[in-house]
A and B are shown apart, each in its own frame.
Chain A
Amino acid sequence: MPYNYGIKVSTPANEVLTQADKDLAFTTKYSTIKILKAGDISVTTDGSGDGINSVTHGLSYAPAYLAYQKCTASWPFLDANTHANAYVQDPGVVNMWGSANNHALHVYTDSTKIYLQAKGATASTTFTIHYVLLLDLAEDYSGASSLFDKNIGFKVSKPGISVLTAKPYELAFTSRCKSLQYYAVNYKTETLTLPSMWASVVDPTVEEGTYVDINHGLGYPPLFLAFFTTDHSPTTPSTLLPIVSYNSIDAFAYMVSGFSDATKVRLSFYRMSQWWLGFAIPNYNYQEIITLRCFIFTEDLSQSF
């Protein structure tokens, strides 16, 4: 039988004693995601399109993070318009909304810094990413961390750990960090359908794509996470975006990706079939429906913290 101890806050008009944990606005029963800092990192590439820059975090362990390329989003194949002040998710993965350069920008952390590294990007160009650095771990770690060595504010430690001596990564909640919180509507679902396609000797490259704009009404570009499933492989898990797959000639053939700006989160679905050595590769001769699930958070990607 569950016991009602700690702090629980239900969502409006719901009984706090009976509301399911997953629906509660807040509970000290579970750890939260804690934003240590957020900001921009820029790098200007050399003549080879390479460059690196970093920000020190002071945590003594590699922390978790989220990152978005800050740019004008554009993909003429799907949309003749450009989208200024956009945030394209996950630099380092092909995401055509961020041009081919999104693929050439790599973000990673270690025990001292968060890095932005350009490798083979457009030469002599400045690229900027917005990072959201978390207090939470990206690696198994049990060592010391001198950050937050004063007992101030409001904090909740994880079970079995003294709140007075808890290391930063042992905290379930702390008012010294910004909480990652869902917006009022915490997700949207939508489906996108592409009809069957099959490249041939006549049409050696056939492309399909479409997108959905989830208008959020926030007036700023929000942090978002999205997942997708496909009816073509019903056993496939609901996979985090962005995802991209390649064919044998190393041209991307399948991509589900997106970006956010001040009015919307755009999620797109693209695929391509190519005629190669007498075969359609991949031979997308089936209609495909993907289901997208989008989480929008209160975090403003245009603001530093």
Chain B
Amino acid sequence: MANEIVYALNDSFAQWAGGEAEDHIDLGSGNVDGEYDSAYRFANIQIGQGATISYAHIKVYCQTQSGSGTMRTKTYGIKETNTASFSSNPFGRTKTTVDSDADFGVPGVGNYVDIDVGQQLTEIVGQAGWVSGNAAGFFSMRDGSDANTWVFDWISASFLVVRVSAEPNFNPTPKSISAPTFPSATSHGIKISKSGYDVLDSTDSQLLFTTRKKIVKVIAEGETTTTGGVEKLLAHGLGYTPCVLGFIESGGYRVKLNRDIDGASDPIGTGLQGYIGANDTNISIITSANATVYYYVFIEEQSV
């Protein structure tokens, strides 16, 4: 359900004391060069004018790196409505009012440095001349990185991730099934009421037994052993999916299935878990370790 859009790096440019290079992203501080500034350009940004950005992060790819100190950058947007390519040094262009500080250690090769540019992008697309589909740019400026600590991306593998609106959790409209119409109570057939209740006036829940309702009928029951992680199949011979019930032995006690103890303390055993189900051919029991299970198969069908 995630609705973010990823924009590949379209152009980049780096500068340092006494040098510059196109198609470079250099962050941190080089052994000889000193601290770096980098510029990024992302094209065809699909955001309407005036949108508030929920999330925008530049993911700077670590192609090569060095050092173990901290890199410190201050990142601005380029305050233009459609940033042009970096055919020449772009660092003289106007910066956004807002900026963000990012301090980070040296990532492993193949990993990414994360720079939050959400507010900068909001300021860029908030300009009167911004049109969806235009290009946006950013500067990461030197901000006191530790010496000999740097990350380079010279293969343009960095990217921008943008999400305009927050991703909602999804809750479909719940369903509701109307109560069925029950047949009126009658005094025929066999009824046995609980002690203290008049059999003629008893409600269904006050009866021990009534032929007005279908009784649960057990077509098979028994004990079986299972091997942990292996589905135990027992043929029931009914040709349809029956209702089933099971009880697993744990620590000398019996516990109704399903049992899923994961994440909680098991007071009677070592976290034995198990599930029971059925299909048209078999009942299915699966347990997390070798176990003993007592099962019931009811003759009543699960499906309509």
Contacts and interface: CB of A to CB of B under 8 A. Distances in A.
Interface in B251-286: 252-268, 275-279, 282-284
B87 to A, nearest CB: 32
Interface residues of B, number: 88
B125 to A, nearest CB: 18
A236 B284 CA distance: 9
Contacts of B180: 184-185, 216-217
Contacts of B182: 183-185, 217
Interface in A183-242: 183-190, 192-203, 206-217, 220, 225, 227, 235-242
Interface in B42-97: 55, 57
A179 B278 contact: no
A305 B193 CA distance: 12
A168 to B, nearest CB: 14
B204 interface: yes
Contacts of A21: 217, 299
B241 to A, nearest CB: 5
A33 B245 CA distance: 11
A190 B175 contact: yes
26 contacts: A11-B214, A22-B301, A31-B218, A62-B254, A104-B264, A106-B255, A106-B268, A108-B254, A139-B249, A181-B209, A186-B300, A187-B302, A193-B172, A197-B1, A203-B1, A203-B167, A206-B169, A212-B176, A213-B177, A214-B177, A237-B282, A239-B276, A240-B258, A241-B258, A295-B300, A298-B213
A155 to B, nearest CB: 11
Interface of A: 9, 11-12, 21-27, 29-33, 52, 62-67, 77-79, 90, 92-94, 103-104, 106-110, 115, 117, 119-120, 136-140, 154, 173, 175, 177-190, 192-203, 206-217, 220, 225, 227, 235-246, 250, 252, 264, 293, 295, 297-300, 303, 305
Interface string B171-185: 111111111101100
Given A32-B215, A181-B209, A237-B277, 4 more contacts: A25-B189, A32-B218, A79-B174, A215-B177
Nearest to B214: A182
A188 B304 CA distance: 8
B22 to A, nearest CB: 28
Interface of B: 1-2, 4, 55, 57, 161, 163, 167, 169-180, 182-183, 189-190, 192, 194, 204-205, 207-219, 221-223, 238, 241, 243-247, 249-250, 252-268, 275-279, 282-284, 292, 294, 296, 298-304
A210 B174 contact: yes
Contacts of A136: 218, 221, 296
